[in-house]
Amino acid sequence: MKKKIYIAGCGGMLGEAFHKQFANDYELKCVDKDVNESWLSFLDFRDAESYRKDVEQFKPDYLFHLGAYTDLEFCEKNADDTYATNTLSVETAVSIANDLDIPILYIGTAGIFDGQKELYDDWDTPNPLGVYARSKYMAEKFVETNAKRFLVCRAGWMMGAGPSKDKKFIQKIMKQLKEGKEELFIVDDKDGTPTYTQDFAKNVKELIRKEYWGLYNMVCEGQTSRLDVTIELLKVLNLESRVKITPVKSDHFKDIYFAKRPPNERIDNRKLRIRNLNLMRDWRVSLKEYIKDYYSNYLP
């Protein structure tokens, strides 16, 4: 008999990967307020009563809470809505999981650090800079302090799910290339670690299987920068000779991206390595696979 997982906020890029990696081995109930797949049903997890009722009816063995607002500018402009979505709903999820005596998975972020160190491991103390980072850190702390059994897995610069769901850096660059841009303005003062959603979901699956509860950094291997990622992306697409990259400082985009961002979001999968459970591949390998699998007919 398959174990059951209830996945809340499963309509985004990470949800797509979790559905793909878990659907064969578990019985899933996947919900989101945006029903954009045949395997999704409607639930707004900010409605605590409906959330609790739906989970209790399904009787899962695990509760995965994936959804969050991740647009930093939106979060700065809509702080109360952000805390309701990113923080308070997680408190509801912990309460539901505890009452059912099941483990909860919460998705953390490298964005909770202030970027003053070169590299952050699982035991470094976060110092969130803006509303988004604060809302995520407060939720992470609540899970750690209150959940009976939990996994907190921190992602870095997310990539996955292709043009329909990827709202992050890779898709933003791919969109410019599709529009025929021959010059890309890329910041050279932001460092971090890409995280391929498929690799992330696979590594979570292994932690669940072994029941290694706790907090884990979970990013692709190889520290890098926005500039390096763009250079590599153009190589993968064989466009390095046709598209010019012009490095700029973050101030270049200050009118569009006004929310505070750490200069460095590099995190290290130290705990996974110590446990011999680090399945995360080098970001270049994952990027190449991602483009091949999700963007094969995207560019003209």
Tokens of 167: 């709202």
Please compute the mean of the pLDDT values over residues 195-208 and round it to a whole number: 98
Phi-psi region of 168 (alpha: psi -120 to 50; beta: other; left: phi over 0): beta
Residue showing tokens 């072994």: 210
Q: Cα separation of 287 and 241, whole Å?
A: 19
> Does the structure show a pLDDT above 90 at 197?
yes
Q: Cα separation of 64 and 106, whole Å?
A: 7
What's the pLDDT band for 256 if we cut at 50, 70, 90?
A: confident
Please compute the mean of the pLDDT values over residues 125-149 and round it to a whole number: 98
> Does the structure show a pLDDT above 90 at 260?
no
Q: Cα separation of 215 and 107, whole Å?
A: 10
What's the pLDDT band for 37 if we cut at 50, 70, 90?
A: very high
> Does the structure show a pLDDT above 90 at 137?
yes
Average pLDDT of the residues of the chain: 96
Judge whether 225 and 276 are in contact, CB under 8 Å: no
Q: Cα separation of 57 and 163, whole Å?
A: 34
pLDDT number for residue 223: 84
Burial class from Cβ neighbours inside 10 Å (0-12, 13-18, 19+) for residue 220 reads buried
pLDDT number for residue 300: 83
pLDDT number for residue 255: 82
Within 185-252, where are the H helices?
Answer: 197-210, 226-236
pLDDT in tens, 46-93: 999 999 999 999 999 999 999 999 999 999 999 999 999 999 999 999
Could you give phi then psi for residue 90, rounded to 5 degrees? Answer: -70, -35
**Domain 4-161+193-222+265-281 fold:** Rossmann fold (3.40.50)
All structural domains of the chain with their residue ranges: 4-161+193-222+265-281
